[in-house]
Amino acid sequence: MDNLEIAQFIYMLLTNAKLRDTISMISRKAVLILGNFARLDILNDIRSILRDRGYCPILFDFSEPKERNTTEVVSILARLSRFIIADISEPRCVPHELAWNVPQLHSVPVLPIIEDDGRPYFMARDLDAYPWFMKLYRYRDSASLLSEFDSQIIQPAEEKAQSLISDRIEREASDWK
């Protein structure tokens, strides 16, 4: 390594169990929320209920760092997440974020949600080819979404996350036989 600080960080990653445990904990608790910021009220409701359920919700509503563009930042956050909730009601950037990330997120479930009267953007159905892209959940309004959140969002996303982990472990075990 040419940079001592980076070498020290890499060394800590490789040898420090607490740092590995911290990264592991983040990937068990972080939930990325994607959506149109014109609908910030519903996104904030989702963030609040996730926080109440012990998750660390991430709503990318801050300025991007100079070293990365927004797509790269969202991609990094997606890879650290337990699962992703993508509100595709009135989508703006979400189709791009999903098209960029879903094909590469083999171990991160993505749960699309949409208001009942909304129509998914046309190419969203292409993402159905990926097993970690979950069935679209329709909600009537904020109140109905929040009342069904545990059974229709958290439980299915957690089950899918566990299934993806089990599949990966099984696949890796059979690859080494």
Burial class (CB in 10 A: 0-12, 13-18, 19+), 79: middle
In one letter, which amino acid is 25? M
Q: Are strands 30-34 and 83-87 parallel, antiparallel or unpaired?
A: parallel
Instruction: Walk along the chain (177 residues) and give the pLDDT tens digit of each residue.
Output: 466 777 877 787 778 777 777 777 888 899 999 999 888 999 999 999 999 999 999 997 656 667 778 888 889 899 999 999 999 998 888 999 999 999 998 899 999 999 988 888 889 899 999 999 999 999 999 999 999 999 999 999 999 999 998 988 888 877 766
Predicted model pTM: 0.85
- 139-152 pLDDT, tens digit per residue, is 999 999 999 999 99
For the chain, give the longest Cα–Cα distance.
Answer: 56
DSSP state of 104: G
